[in-house]
Amino acid sequence: MFSGEPIAFEFAGSSWLLFALGDRAIRVELVNQEMSLASCGAVRKLSTALQPVQTSLGIQALVPAYASLMLMLDRNADLISLVSKLSELFAAGDSVNAAAKSVAPLVQLQLMPEPGLDAALLADAFGLSVPQLLQQFCAAQYQVAQIGFRAGFPYLIGLPPALSFPR
């Protein structure tokens, strides 16, 4: 019986906690939550592993964030049964971990011809020219950590620490 207390499990080398969010959603979060490429990669692995069995488990949508994954359930899904099936699935380990080894797609983006209004300020703060700043910014590889509150707005991680600047 799912008492509402978090359920701990291991998956793909990470420790997770599973929480019920009402009777139509489950939040699965990393025990060691941090905003990092490693955390986002672990969430992506979990999401990728669940995609092939999503429908059969009664999961309507998978919603990733920095260090968690929300499972939105179908109207007819049974929360207690689903938690039991998820526990069994993660206990099996090998077949689920094999499905999680997929590679995220790489998308190349092109910056707008004019740099942002703050480019000169930032370049000056870092002791760089605007072209040097843009070159360093564009040389990094970013990962979408989650989609934001504004439809389609991605929150990215991967900014080189040398380009970090307070708001």
Q: Which of 12-16, 74-78, 105-109, 122-126 has the lowest mean pLDDT?
A: 105-109
Helices (H), the chain: 37-50, 54-57, 79-92, 94-99, 119-126, 130-139
Tell me what pLDDT residue 4 has.
65
Mean pLDDT score of the chain: 81
Query: Is 99's pLDDT higher than 80?
Result: no
Whether the CB-CB separation of 162 and 126 falls below 8 Å is answered with: yes
Q: Which residues contact 126 (CB under 8 A, 6 or more apart)?
A: 133, 162, 163, 165
Half-sphere CA count of 70, side-chain side, radius 13 A:
13
pLDDT class of 1 with cuts at 50, 70, 90: very low
Q: d(Cα 9, Cα 28) in Å, to the nearest integer?
A: 10
Q: d(Cα 93, Cα 160) in Å, to the nearest integer?
A: 34
Q: Across-strand partners of 128?
A: none
Q: What number is the average pLDDT over the span 133-157?
A: 81
pLDDT tens readout for residues 46-79? 888 888 888 888 999 998 888 899 999 998 888 8
Q: Which of 32-41, 49-58, 65-74, 109-118 has the lowest mean pLDDT?
A: 109-118
